[in-house]
């Protein structure tokens, strides 16, 4: 009977695999059919339902996540797509207004939100109304909404502005309980990326650097909001939000309106009715107003594959060895894209857009060498730093002939570290021994059972020191400074864009438009500003998964605190992903802890949520 049951399970598994294959073929054909035609875009309101986060390069959902029903959990929107749609809407007579639905907004880097807000401001300046709506506004959401013509707030909602600052998890106590030793090798007084594994709190040096950075970022946030909405009493509200609520009789929404932070308190039905007055009622009755979907508008109005003479290289997310999907900076993937762009011909200049806290030293150097090869072919290289370009993210900026940053860019963090976990305490707790022989002092090293030997530790530290010295030399050559002078402003210290400019780590302020214009100038292209994106196109598999993951998240928002609660929940997932990245990553890394993750952690598919179809997809397409 046991054999019969095994055969039966095998047959069921084969059947399910065949069903999966047919489903994939069906949805693949459906995706191809739907994406091959552009649905007509009629008059109405361009609706930006930002249920997720804004990133430099959006990651694609995995097959397992989609088939387990978690594919749309943390949606990502590419900044360039949103900006392109808004800029096209300014002069498009079909677009009567723009709606920013921020109920599920998880934010983004401060520089990215400022760029997106500027695009919203350009639409408003063209005379078209831009209306923002949310039940709960946080820092990023309110910074974006402040650029709108009108800010709407649910009467049961709130504006909860906390300012820069966050709690990091520290694992020393947990590692001690587990008997795990984090063997750390680092250079840099401020290189605090390793501190969570050797301390239970921030060091004074790390806290000093983080406090200085946070103060500057808050000031930049204030200035951006007040430029867009001068009537907002931001300073008084920040100073005493509970007092403002008490003065409004305990009503959080009224307190926000009294402070000039919002214009109208109304539920979503009233908001939709106002959009219907601006853009017309929906004759199909699906919504109260005629809505233009973002994806349809992008297909109709924005060239997603331009072929201009200025190549744009995107370095977004953690820098990792080898190849990686979009949204993660794989050293080989980016280098191959640069080489292919050069081989295809027609390139006159490169713009390197960076939004990364760093990662693998080897992958960072792989990317840098590819950029140097482009320079050897007389292509000017201009760097555009986004929200974060630190540590390995700064390493890859060094080939730039000109480096742009934003005042709120987080950069610097010129330092190197390595972590090797060992498990001697764990084995002792379990009553397990480990023994063996050596033929040289380095036999069996690094020893994960007893910890690295002194000789191995000296060798690893020497490697870290050597890479740090190389980092100083690369930066010194790029910024025309002696390595000793670079060391004074390095040591792993993180800087805001304004201070980095004063220190000579960047050349000027500006976003992508400024970088493209500079590249055209250096390449003597006149008024030509056409770009092409040097990245691999989404694969057929990724396209199918994106189509299956599309659609609205029906979880809904119940109240202001439920809306705001999604942010810390996503932070926990990011923190857990960060631990895995640190401990499973390369032994020697150049990355920044204070910078924080630049994108939401991918949805984690738990084993109990993986049905047979999801597991089969994981086996077939991983």
**Structural contact between residues 573 and 601, judged by C-beta atoms closer than 8 angstroms:** yes
**Calpha distance 405→515 (Å, rounded):** 10
Q: Show the beta-strand stretches assigned E in 85-221.
A: 95-101, 107-108, 130-137, 150-159, 181-187
**Structural contact between residues 525 and 309, judged by C-beta atoms closer than 8 angstroms:** yes
Q: Rounded to whole angstroms, what are the CA distances from 259 to 230, 242, 572?
A: 11, 12, 32
CA 301, 302, 304: angle at the middle one, nearest 5?
A: 145
**Structural contact between residues 168 and 593, judged by C-beta atoms closer than 8 angstroms:** yes
Pairing of strands 150-159, 264-265: parallel
Q: Is the dihedral of CA 40, 42, 45, 46 positive or negative?
A: positive
**Calpha distance 504→481 (Å, rounded):** 9
CA 259, 157, 278: angle at the middle one, nearest 5?
A: 85
Catalytic entry in 191, 290, 481, 518: 191
| Phi, psi (degrees; rounded to nearest 5) at 77 | -115, 130
Nearest alpha-carbon partner for 478 in 378, 397, 392? 397
> Quick count: other Cβ atoms within 10 Å of Cβ 14?
10
Catalytic entry in 53, 146, 391, 397: 391
Dihedral, CA of residue 384, residue 323, residue 360 and residue 194, to nearest 10: 100
Q: Rounded to whole angstroms, what are the CA distances from 463 to 359, 418, 547, 587?
A: 16, 9, 46, 10
**Calpha distance 619→606 (Å, rounded):** 15
Residue 482 CA to its chain's centroid (Å): 33
* Residue 191 annotated to the active site: yes
Residues in the chain: 622
* Residue 413 annotated to the active site: no
**Calpha distance 151→166 (Å, rounded):** 27
Residues involved in catalysis: 191, 391
């Amino acid at each position: 009977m046991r054999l019969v049951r095994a055969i039966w399970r095998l047959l069921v598994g084969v059947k399910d695999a065949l069903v999966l294959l047919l489903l994939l073929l069906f949805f693949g054909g459906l995706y191809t059919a739907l994406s091959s035609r552009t649905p007509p875009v009629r008059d109405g309101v361009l609706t930006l339902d930002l249920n997720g986060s804004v990133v430099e390069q959006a990651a694609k959902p995995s097959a397992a996540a989609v088939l387990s029903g978690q594919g749309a959990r943390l949606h990502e929107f590419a900044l360039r797509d949103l900006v392109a749609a808004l800029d096209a809407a300014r002069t498009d007579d079909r677009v009567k207004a723009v709606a920013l639905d921020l109920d599920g907004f998880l934010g983004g880097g401060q520089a990215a939100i400022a760029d997106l807000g500027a695009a919203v401001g350009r639409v408003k300046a063209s005379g078209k109304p831009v209306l923002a709506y949310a039940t709960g506004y946080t820092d990023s959401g309110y910074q974006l909404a402040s650029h709108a013509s009108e800010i709407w707030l649910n009467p049961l909602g709130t504006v909860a502005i906390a300012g820069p600052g966050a709690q990091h998890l520290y694992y020393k106590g947990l590692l001690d309980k587990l008997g795990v030793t984090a063997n750390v090798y680092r250079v840099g007084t401020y290189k605090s990326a390793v501190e969570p594994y050797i301390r239970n709190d921030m060091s004074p040096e790390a806290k000093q650097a983080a406090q200085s950075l946070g103060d500057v970022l808050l000031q930049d946030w204030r200035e951006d909001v007040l430029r867009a909405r001068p009537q907002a009493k931001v300073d008084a509200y920040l100073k005493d939000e509970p007092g403002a609520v008490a003065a409004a009789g305990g009503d959080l929404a009224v307190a926000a309106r009294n402070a000039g932070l919002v214009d109208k308190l109304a539920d979503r039905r009233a908001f939709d009715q106002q959009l219907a007055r601006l853009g017309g009622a929906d004759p199909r009755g699906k919504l109260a107003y005629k809505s233009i979907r973002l994806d349809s508008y992008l297909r109709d109005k924005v060239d997603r594959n331009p072929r201009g003479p200025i190549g744009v290289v995107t370095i977004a997310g953690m820098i990792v060895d080898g190849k990686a999907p979009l949204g993660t900076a794989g050293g080989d993937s980016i280098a191959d894209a640069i080489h292919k762009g050069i081989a295809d011909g027609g390139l006159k200049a490169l713009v390197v857009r960076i939004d990364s806290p760093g990662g693998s030293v080897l992958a960072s150097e792989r990317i840098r060498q590819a950029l140097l090869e482009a320079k050897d072919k007389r292509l000017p290289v201009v760097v555009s730093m986004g929200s974060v370009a630190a540590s390995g993210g700064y390493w890859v900026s060094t080939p730039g002939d000109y480096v742009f940053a934003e005042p709120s860019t987080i950069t610097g963090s010129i330092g190197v570290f390595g972590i090797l976990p060992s498990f001697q305490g764990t084995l002792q707790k379990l009553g397990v021994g480990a023994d063996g022989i050596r033929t040289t002092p380095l036999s069996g090293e690094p020893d994960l059972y007893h910890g690295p030997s002194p000789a191995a530790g000296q060798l690893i530290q020497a490697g870290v020191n050597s890479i740090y010295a190389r980092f100083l030399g690369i930066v010194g050559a790029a910024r025309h400074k002696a390595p000793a002078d670079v060391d004074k402003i390095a040591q792993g210290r993180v800087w805001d864009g304004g201070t980095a400019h004063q220190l000579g780590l960047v050349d000027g302020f500006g976003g992508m438009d400024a970088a493209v214009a500079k590249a055209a100038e250096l390449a003597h292209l006149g008024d030509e500003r056409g770009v092409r994106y040097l990245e691999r196109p989404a694969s057929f598999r990724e396209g199918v998964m994106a189509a299956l993951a599309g659609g609205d998240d029906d979880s809904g928002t119940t109240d202001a605190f439920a809306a705001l609660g999604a942010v810390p929940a996503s932070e926990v997932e990011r923190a857990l992903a960060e631990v895995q990245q640190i401990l499973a990553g390369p032994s020697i890394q150049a990355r920044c802890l204070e910078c924080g993750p630049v994108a939401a952690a991918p949805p984690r598919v738990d084993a109990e949520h993986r049905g047979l179809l999801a597991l089969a997809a994981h086996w077939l397409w991983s």
